Structure formats: structure tokens, C-alpha cells
Chain A
Amino acid sequence: MNNPPETSLQSEKALKRLRRRRAADTRFRMYGLAALGFALFSLVFLISAIAWKASGAVTYHVVKTDIVLTPERIAPDGNASPEEITRNIEGFYTLVRDDLFAHFPNAGDSLAVRQDFSALVDRLAVLPLARRVARHPSLIGQSVTVEVPVSDDVDLFLKRSSPRSIPFRIRAGAQINPGQGGGMVLAQPDLRSVRTTLTALGEQDGVPSVFVTSKGAVARLSDLGDEAATFELLAGDVADFESTPLKGLIVTVPESRRTISDLQIAWALALRSEGIIRRVPHTSLLTRTDSTYPELAGALAALVGSLLTMLVTGMVAIPMGIFAAIFLEEFAPKNRLTQLIEVNINNLAAVPSIVFGLLGATLLLGTFGLPRSAPLVGGLVLALLILPVVIIAARAALRAVPPSIRSGALAVGASRMQAVFHHVLPLAFPGMLTGAILGMARALGETAPLLLIGMVAFVAEVPSSTTDEATALPVLIYSWASNAERAWEPMTAAVIVILLALLVIMNVIVVMLRRKFERRW
């Protein structure tokens, strides 16, 4: 009598069922949250890893100095034509190098030392200077301020990223005495931390180098005793050490295992302490074109190439995709043929992008003989690639417009065309636009098809039309990432950030346009 009947909501069975259902609910929510959390974590991890890497390329080191453009160096045989000036890179380079070298009168003037010194700045770094002078020949004989990037090895060293270096403090007021052979001795130095670090690093193919720097002078530790530390002078005078506070630096990698020598390090540190080498924003990343030297390379040509390619892609794929979608959705009869087309459009969206590259290479380059490496060809190939995506998105947008709107327009005597263009399209437009821009975003990140049509060429000139040789940002990322030097790593990351920024901008445009058009009703 007290037992509730089996069917009651209070019964044991019902309660158990309820518990099971609640548990299933909770489990499902947990799975969802876990998936979301994982996706979010991966995204944040990826973005921050790239941003961290790219931060190394936000600034770089340049030599900034005043030089006199002596005519003997710039136009040795008296020919000051622009071509001749631009070709005479050696002359400019010698001017800059000698100006820097003049800071180290004690360095000796052997060929080996000069060659060693030359590694601080790459020859091609003076090319912009040469071009500037070629444009303004009146500068010859004048004194100009030049700013040339230091070589990537020096830059990486000064950024403490490779070889790694650890700064240390030197107690103020340590007594400095001249040592034998032009060296110097630091009496009662408190270098316990240096000793600990050196012990920890151990010896592998030689000992790490320890430097002390003051303004304009650098010395290397040769013997570390309890009472005194002996240093070998690499740049400047002993007197320099007495006038300014000292800074210490341990370069953790032994000299034999790095590309930058102790002497070069000493010069770089000395020039930096004098303010000749300074850290500046790396604007050349956006104003220069590709180069084999990382410190001289920039992404401008690839950026312009990408924009030109996108221009072609957008002008072909968006109208074509939208009109194809309108035709298929609103006008085409529903029969076997249109069904076949529909299935094939969906299949086309899943074709690997490299296949489109092959198609472009054989058809556009081979049959139609369009120029290789041109944004025109790249744009056409990418347009074909994203066309199915644009069509599918546009059809979905059209299908989302309630049919009652169409019937309403038809019933007041609008033709089919008027119903579509006056009533359906305005409603479908934001959705179509979103699809189109998302398609463009996909095209912006495509690499494989562009490789096949030769847009991977080394491009030193900014393309000015869609038929010029060009490359694109993702291809630039690909080629920079395959370079061996460490200095390319932050540069590559920086280009990735540029690419991501473009994508973000495109998405913001989508959101803004949607807002704008949706506010109409």
C-alpha cells in the first residue's frame, strides 16, 4: 500500500533512470568543455609561441655613423653615372668599414684582422646607401649619416640569443692596474658568481669567454685568481676602464664552437658602448625585399605579391562564385545535370590544393603561356581553389533567406530576377560576403599551388603589376623557414605574424560589413 506504483515518478527505477540521465548530461558537458579547453589552449600556445619567437625580430642592431662620401672611393675613375655608383658597392663598403675600424687604432692592420672586422657588417648592407647616392649625386663629397644593419651573427649575439651570454656585475671601485703586454689586472675583484657560472658550464672544446666592458674598451679574462683577475685588452685602452663603470659578460659557448670570434665580440661590444651600434625598430622588415642575408631581408615584395594575388583571386572568385551560386540556387532547374554539378562542386572543395597548382602549371603556364611566377597566374589558381568554397557559402546564404520573401515578391508581380536581386540578395549578402572573405583568407595562406607555378622565385624587386615576378607571404615563410641560419627563425616568425595580422584584418572587415549591412533592417 505504501509502495508507490512502478510507474510513479518516485519509484526506485524512475529515480535511477533520472540519475543516469543527469550523469549523461554532466558527462556530455564535461566532454564539450574539455574539447573547448584543449582547442583554446592549443591556440593560445601556438599564438604565444609564434609571438615570442617573432619578438626577436621587432628590433635589430644597426651601425649609425657619419661618413664623408669621398669622390675617390665612390667614383674612382671619375664616372659618376647612377649605374656606375650603384655597381661600386665595394667603395661604399670600404668607407663604412674604415670609418668603424678607425675606432680601434690598436687593432693592427693585417689583412686577417681587416677580414675579421669585415664580418661585422655585410657588404650588401650598403646597397641602399649606394642607391641613395645614385639618386642624389650631389651627396658626393658631403658628410652623411648612414645606418646599416650589422651582420646577423653580431645582431643575434647582441640580443643575447646566440651564442647565449650572461651578464654579471662588477663591484664598483675595484682597483685597476696595467698588466704585462698591454693587459690589465683587477685587484680584489669579487667574481665569485663568475667562478660558479664557469664551473657550472664546464669545459667542452675550450672554456667560455668572459668579457668586461667600459665605454669604448673591452677586455677578455685570461686568468681568474683569488687576489686578482688578469684581463687581456681586445679593444680600447686601459685608461678607458678607469673612467666609467665596468660591465661583465660571460659568453657561454667557447670560441671554437661559434661563428663569431672573441675579437668580433669585443669590437661589437665596444661600438655598442659608444652608441655607434644601436638597437632600432626593425622597420626594414616591411620596407625591404628578400635577401640572402637575414639582416637585410624584408617581406615587402612578398606582401605586395600576396596583395596582388589576392586582388586577382577576389576579382575572379567572388563575382564568379556569387553568380554561380545565384544561378544554381535561384534559376537553374533541378535536374540530373544540376545535381551532378552540385555534387562536383562539393567534391572540388575537397581536392588537395597542390592539384590546383598542377592544373595551373600545365594549363595556364603551358597551354595559355601566361608568365611564370606572376600574381596573375597565382591569383587565377587560387581563385579556382576557393571557388567551390565561395559557391557553397553563397548558396547556403541564399538558402537561409526565407522562401516567403520570394513568394511575397513574386506575388506582387516581380519577375524572378527582380525577386532575387531586390529582396533575396540584400538579405543573403552578409552571408555571401563572409563566405567570400573566408575563402580569400584560405587563399592568402595557401603555399603549395604557388610553389608549383613558380612563385617561390627569389624576388628582389617589389612587383608593380600582376604579371611581374612575385612571391607571396606563405611562400616566403616556407623559404625562410628552410634556411639554416638561426637569424631566420625570428624573421620567419615575424612574417607569420604579418600574415596572421592580415587574416585578422580580413575577419574584422567581415564583422564590420556584416554589422553595417544587417543594420539596414
Chain B
Amino acid sequence: MHFFSSKFDSLRGIHFEDFWKIYGFNRRVSGGFCFIQIFNRNGSRELLGEAVTTGRIALEGISKNYADLEVLRDLNLEVNRGEFVTLIGPSGSGKSTVFNILSGLEPASAGTVKVEGFGNERAFAYMPQRDALLPWRNILDNVILGQELQGVARKKARAEALSQLPFFGLEGFEKNYPFELSGGMRQRAALLRTVLTHCPVLLLDEPFGALDALTRAQLQQWLGELRTRLNRTILFITHDVEEALLLSDRVYVLSPRPAHVVLELPVDLDRSGPGELVTSPRFVELKAQLLAALKSEGAL
């Protein structure tokens, strides 16, 4: 928690959950952040100040079985607000299953998912592996799907979507049908659809997996730049080590099924520095670490 008032200095050590028991509170969501107004509980209802949560998603001891198939075993992950975290692991290890659990499509067999500091809003927006654009809708009506299903008026949703199209390289294509677009454009449209749900956490499941190498490189670059503008927490799945390093703040390496965390790797790269990132010594070093972790699990 970042507190805006010095009155709370003494609170820094208190665990998040205990905090709610001691003080009255009110949530206010603004600018993508959840502000919390804190009141005294002792009857005076005095407003003590405002705090903004850093926000945190924690998967604690998550296990998942499909009948006899054990997919996840005691998985522990943590994602902080605004962070870009990548799950990397062999095919069929259970990465998509993690997303299914987070987005509420599947219940976990055991363990808990804690979503702290994201307010009452729905936290997760899921972007499937394939674009899943509706062939009977043009791009504009495809990207507003999330809001439309929430009951937002189409007109309003369309206006907002139109203002976002340029940032997604889709300007002038709003009236085109998905099949009239290239693979890269369809993925960008699918991402815009995910972004427009206004959920604070984006779950991106191998969004560039089906693209050719060149388009893929372009989109990686683009997503890296877009990220700052989006101001969202992003959970990303890939089985491409370089992609993971290029984009993430932190990488979790998962084992083959049943998946558990093999390695947690903070990506401390200077992305603003001069020169080619992928050939920098630190990048090469991190890449070697990731590959070693994958290899040790027989994933490579």
C-alpha cells in the first residue's frame, strides 16, 4: 500500500487483510487505480486519509485435476499491480489451465486465488489463444463485445473503440470483417477487445503463437510500447524464451504436467539503453538461465 497521509506511517507493517478489520473504508476507482478512503471505526467516522493499493494477485497452492489427469500441483504465483509477468513452460503443461482458473472458466481443485486491491470490478480479461473474432461482425463491433455483454450502449462503446483504433494500427479498418485482415491485425483487434473490457488484469495466452516470425517481432515491439500507455497488469503465456525476456518484468518457468514453479526470474534489463537488447550480455545471461531451467525439467 502507498499511503497518501503521514497518519498511516505506523500501519505499514500491518498485513493487508488485517487492515480492513481495523478501519472502515470506502473504495473509489479512478484512473485505473483503486483508491481507498479510510475511516476510523470508533464511531467518529473521521476520514483519516486516502490510500492507493499496489494491488496483488496471488495464487496459493493451486492444484487442478481433470478426472485422473493431474494438471497443476501446488502452484504458487504472485503478480503485482502494473506488472508484466510471463508464464513459460512446455506445451500441455497447464499454462492455459491457470488462465481458465483465473478467469473463472474452471474451478481449482484446491488452493485459493487472492485478488487484492483491484476494487469490486471484475479483475480478469482473457484473450484466447486464437483470436476468436466473430466472422459476422466487423472489427468495430468485434472489439466492443466485452462492453456490449456488460450492457454498455453500443453507441458509447463504439465511440470509445474508435478512439483507440489508431493505437492498435486498425484505423480505417473498423468496417472490415476479420477475414479481410492479416493475422497480425486480427491479434491486435483481439487485444483491443480484451483491453476495452476495462478489466485491470489482462490474461494473454500465446497471443503471437500463430504468427510468422516477422509479424511476431513487430507485435512484440508494439506491445512493449503499448504497455506503458495501457497501465494494466498483464499475465502472459508463451513458450518463446526471447519473447518472455523482451516483454516481461518477471518470468515464471513451469514444469511439465503436473505444473509447478521451477524458477522465478526477475528480468532486470535496461530496455531504454542503446544497442540491441537481445545481444546484450545480461539478456544472453537471463536467456541461458531460462533455458537451463526448462532443460532441467526435461522440457527441451
Q: Do A and B come from one complex?
A: no
Interface residues of A (CB under 8 A from B): none
